[in-house]
Amino acid sequence: MKRLQLQRWSNSVLSTRARTGSHLQHHLYNAVRRQSSTAAAVQPEFSTGEAEHETFEEIKLKTILRRTHSRPNQLKYPSPPTHAAHESAKLAALHARLYLPSRLPYETLARTLVDASADQDPNFNNESLSTLGHDLLTYYTSEHLICTYPRLPLSVIFASMYAYVGPKTLTAMTREWGVEHASSPGGEVDPGLLQFQRLAPGTELQEKEDGPRPYQSQPHWRKTVTSKIFYDNEFGDTAKTAAEGVSADQASATFVRAVMSAIYLHAGRPAAKRFFQQHFLSRHLNMAELFNFEQPTRDLTRLCARENFERPVAKVIAETGRKSRHPVFVVGIFSGQDKLGEGQGASLSEARERAAVAALKGWYLYSPLNVRLPSAMEEDEAAPWKPVHVDLGEVIV
């Protein structure tokens, strides 16, 4: 597969940061910058008359500069102006702290920190970036999960997606990256701070009225897992919004997604994948802790029937103190000669349940060696694709 020419279409996402009505100001500012610097460099060579003229002009320019930078002028805008990005120490420190590629400019990093609730203008907020970043993150995470653990039940896939790229994780990452929140958004705010309009305390998030799910007026109706794939988001949740403002969690999640897409757009796909592996996949998650079985013995029986194994039988392997206050039983579940799982407990049924859970986890957490992800095909000169193992899925009882 050929590499996509990103720059062509990414223009719509990274459109020029030109505010309507600010052309004049931009022009003035640029002109001022150039003139003032030349004046400073050339001044000693000038004669006194010219120097006086220069100083006069400089004073005039200084007043213009002061006016452009004055607080009321900055307050005109809902988010910090573009040129402020180069003056922010916080932003430069964040850029260096994340080892972001030098091709990613400070202006874009500053834009990723402006939430849509702070600045409505889509040219200046991170909404478009975060949409792309969200798709990238869910794509990379889901292909990693499905290819590494091909037998995971869907509800566990939802949970592990939530663990890797859920809003809580992204909020924790924002904190661990050292990003601070601005107390209130505005043009005068340091561009290195995360800017968003805060949700009023006690506001309850409402489900979207015009969501894709039918019968939304019946909130108590059962939502099947299959319908969650179809109608809900990647975590199996219905999207919720508030009328005004966003929570800190939502704003942080949007920011991290926007950073991901900014790297993708400016530095290309390999850099984005590396960033994903270093910051997302390197985090620790114990997959075995995500399962919660209701009736493990029943599930195991159904699984063995489906896979044409012999009917599972629980046998006591070892026991001690059957008549004492603290008995311990070690029970193994056998299918013919093969031991599927083993568990120990204070009663026979508890040990059997644990053994069944161990057997089910052993089945569901199967992971093939040397997995190749579909996104590896996007590399130049990739080897021909060999299909990965795809399982039937969970047992349906």
Partner 1 sequence: MTVQGLRTVTSAQNGAGAFILQCKRLDLHYNLQGASSHGLRTFVQTLLPKFARQYPQIEFRVSPTPKKHPVVRGHYINGREKPICVRNMQPNEILKKVILLKEASGEKNRRQSKPVRSLNESVRGIWSPYHGDLRGV
Residues near partner 1 (CB under 8 A) are 89-90, 92-93, 95-99, 153, 155-160, 162-164, 166, 168-169, 172-173, 175-178, 225, 275, 277-279, 281-286, 289-295, 299, 317-318, 320, 328, 330, 344, 360, 364, 394-397
Q: CA triplet 172, 176, 179: central angle to 5 degrees?
A: 95
Helices 269-276 and 248-267, axial angle in degrees (round to 10): 140
Quote the least distance from Cβ 131 to partner 1, whole Å: 23
CB of 99 or CB of 215, closer to partner 1:
99
CB of 58 or CB of 319, closer to partner 1:
319
Residue pair 241/91 in contact (Cβ under 8 Å)? The answer is no
How far apart, in whole angstroms, are the C-alpha atoms of residue 259 and residue 108? Answer: 9
CB of 38 or CB of 320, closer to partner 1:
320
Quote the least distance from Cβ 48 to partner 1, whole Å: 34
CB of 7 or CB of 320, closer to partner 1:
320
**Lookup result for tokens 């060579």:** 45
Q: Amino acid letter at 149?
A: Y
Quote the least distance from Cβ 240 to partner 1, whole Å: 16
CB of 188 or CB of 249, closer to partner 1:
249
Give bridge partners of residue 241 from the DSSP assignment. 206
**Lookup result for tokens 């093939």:** 368
Quote the least distance from Cβ 396 to partner 1, whole Å: 7
Quote the least distance from Cβ 51 to partner 1, whole Å: 30
How far apart, in whole angstroms, are the C-alpha atoms of residue 225 and residue 153? Answer: 10
Quote the least distance from Cβ 342 to partner 1, whole Å: 9
Sheet architecture: strand order including 338-345: 313-320, 328-335, 338-345
- Indicate the burial class of 319 (C-beta count within 10 angstroms; 0-12, 13-18, 19 or more): middle
Q: Give the list of residues 6+ apart from residue 178 with CB closer than 8 angstroms, or none.
A: 93, 94, 97
CB of 54 or CB of 394, closer to partner 1:
394
Can you read off the two tokens belonging to residue 158?
């939802």
Quote the least distance from Cβ 173 to partner 1, whole Å: 8
Any idea what DSSP says for residue 278?
I
First to last CA, the chain: 41
How far apart, in whole angstroms, are the C-alpha atoms of residue 122 and residue 104? Answer: 19
CB of 47 or CB of 292, closer to partner 1:
292
